[in-house]
Structures are given as structure tokens and as C-alpha cells.
Amino acid sequence: MGAVAESQATLASRADRVAGYDIARALAILGMVVVHFSLVMAADRSGPVWLAEVLGFLDGRAAATFVVLAGVGITLLSRRAVASADPAAVARTRKTLVCRGLFLLVIGFLNLLVWPGDILRIYGVSLLLTARLITATDRRLFLGALGYALGFVVLFIVVDFGKNWEWETLTYKRLWTPSGLVRNLFFDGFRSVLPWTGFVFFGMWLGRLNLRDRAVNRRVLLAGVGVVVLAEVTSWLCVRYFLAHPHGMDAETVKALFGSESMPALPLFLLAAGGTAVAILASSVRVAEACPPRLLRPLTATGQMALTWYFAHIFLGLGAVVALGLVSAEPLPVAAGCGLLFFAVAVLSSWLWKKVFRHGPLERLMRAVAG
């Protein structure tokens, strides 16, 4: 996932790799796996309350971390070419990003056949859109991130977001029609280009910061935590106020407009999820700088194989859940525990695999096909 492992954080050379970003990617995989296992396996997602709250917080924020890392990876991948000011080197980097974007688009649509929450299509489109922006100024990247967020808000106001949704079953109707495919990809899917590509623009800027510098890392970490707190407190206050004074809105509308859930991805969610991603990245880099590499090798290996594990947790993990008849059949703690168990197997397998091979199976395929 996230130009996953390779296009998301492949550096100009292996020596340049920032282990903290691999750890952050592994943590994002953990969040996604646990949330998805809970979504598919749990008969009731309401309790215990603390676990439901944790899973609710993770939902969307793990994906946001991946998307921000995609932007970071674009900056790191293109850093040497941009610094060289060599037009040929810049052109080669852009070609690589475009090819990987097309690769992720194709396998994302294939994945959509079995997993309606596919995010690879969003990564693919994001790489295509940002390939021309690797030399952009910080200001332009910020304006791009803001533009995608505001563009989604405008569309949300003028276009019916829930038109194709059956919310009781989280089923998207008319997906495989031309209009349904376009709407789902760009506007009203589980994750859509608007506004999620804005995270990529932000990540491209974040990748220009030296998070290995403790002073820079501290400021970024505090800023990320501060934004999360501000967004969550604002959300809580707004929801509380409008539930007491609805102004004609029902409870579901109030929570959709002023909550910090990932659907629809309105500004309070974007701030909370973006701040969470920043805090995870900064913290992961701090941990990687402080700990001996050998202790973190299993996690870094898992992060480097994120594309492989994204597919594996859907086709092998959730596929096994379906085959065994465990869909909506287990208590929430059991479902989340199965997700944790799958992640533990992924960490062990990644550690063993990387002892022999440089790249994961799907990462190697992407490099062979798309550069």
C-alpha cells in the first residue's frame, strides 16, 4: 500500500532509507489489519466500549498515515534527481512515478472486485497527479493539499454524497457502472481522490523536513499531537452542541458533519487524521534513532513489504475468514485478536523473508513491471 513499501518510501539509494518511516508503515498495516478483521468478523462492534473506541479511532487514521507516507516517499524518491537539477534525471523519476501509479491503478481495480474498501486506486491516481510536482515549492504543495480538502467540501455541499450508499450494510450501489466507478474513485468511495490526495501533497512537504534532527522532530511531534487534540475537542464540542440544539438536523447528520469519522472525510477528520499521521511518523523516527537496528528489523521488514501484506490480509486473512464461515460471527475482542495474530505472523514472515530476499513478492513485481 501507499506506493506501498516501494513507491511510497523507496529512497534514491538503499543507504538513504529512513527506518522510522518503515516502522510507521508497519504500524499503519497493524491498524488496518485489526480494523478490517473487526469489521468483517465481529457480530457486534459496540463492545467492550474501550475496544470499540480504539477501533473507531484507528479507522481511517491508519490509511491516512499510509497516504502521508506516500507523499514522503515521493519526495525521498525524487530527492537526488531534484537536487541535481538534471532535467533528464527529473524526467526519469517522473516516469517511474507515472508507471507505478498506473500499476497501482490496475491492481487496485482488480482488488476492488473482492474488497470494496480498496485504496490502491487512490494511491495510483495520486502518483499520476503528483509526478509533475516533485519540483514544486512548499507553498504550492500546501495550497494543493488545501485545494483537495476544500474541493471535497464544495462537492459534498452540492452533490448527494449518500446517493449510492446503503448505510445499514455499507454497500455501494451501481459501483460497476461508468458513473459509479468515477464517483467512487474521486468523491464518495470509502477512500477517494478528493480529499485524500491532499494528504499526499502534505506528505511531500513533510518529507523535506529532517525528522532525524531532534529539535525538528520535537516541533513536528508536538504540532501533530496539538492538531489532533484541537480537532477532537472541537468535534466533541460541536457534536455535543448540535445534538442539544439540532437546528433541524438528526443525530446521524450531526455526527457526519461534525464528528471525526473517516466518512465523509470532512475537515475535522482530515485534521485529526493528518495530525495522527504526523505524530506516528515523528515518533517512529525517534524510536528508530534511539534503538539498535537489529531490535527493530522485524518491524522495518514488515513496513518494507506493506504492499504484499495489504494484499495478503485481504486475500489470505479475510479470505480465510469467509471460507471458514466466520463473517459477523465472533465477539469484537476475538475479531480484533485475530487481526493481531495475523499481524504477528506477518512480522515474523517478513523478518524471515528479508533475510533471503531484498524485496517482498509484490514489491518485486512492481519494480519489474513499473520500475
User: Shortest CA distance to 151 belongs to which of 306, 7, 265?
Assistant: 265
Task: For cell 498506473, name the residue.
Answer: 102
Residue 242 lies in a domain: no
Residue 324 forms part of a structural domain: yes
Q: Report pLDDT for 168.
A: 83
Q: What is the pTM of this model?
A: 0.89
92 in a domain, yes or no? yes
Count CB atoms within 10 A of the CB of residue 62.
Answer: 25
In this structure, is residue 281 part of a structural domain?
A: no
**SS3 of 43, please?**
strand
Question: Residue 89 and residue 83: Cα distance in Å, rounded?
Answer: 10
What pairs with residue 172 in β-bridges?
165
Q: Which residue has the cell 490496475?
A: 106
pLDDT of residue 114: 87
Q: Which domain holds residue 99?
A: 14-212+296-370
Spatial neighbors of 98 by CB under 8 A, at least 6 apart, are 127, 128, 131
Predicted pLDDT at 17: 75
Whole-number pLDDT of residue 1: 42
Q: How many CA atoms lie within 13 A of 80 on its CB side?
A: 11
Per-residue model confidence (pLDDT) at position 16:
56
Answer whether residue 191 is part of any domain: yes
Total domains in the fold of the chain = 1
The span from the CA of 267 to the CA of 260, in Å, is 8
Mean pLDDT of residues grouped by 10 in the chain (371 residues)?
A: 39 60 96 94 85 90 92 92 91 94 93 89 93 93 94 94 89 92 94 95 95 95 97 95 89 90 93 97 95 93 94 91 92 95 97 95 92 80
CB 65 within 8 A of CB 119: no
Phi-psi region of 86 (alpha: psi -120 to 50; beta: other; left: phi over 0): beta
> Is 46 inside a domain boundary?
yes
pLDDT at 185: 95
Identify the pLDDT of residue 6.
39
The SS3 assignment for 328 reads: coil
Domain contains 236: no
pLDDT number for residue 13: 40
Q: How confident is the model at residue 169, as a pLDDT? A: 84
d(CA 71, CA 79): 12
Structural domain includes residue 139: yes
Give yes or no for a contact between 370 and 13, defined as CB atoms under 8 angstroms apart. no
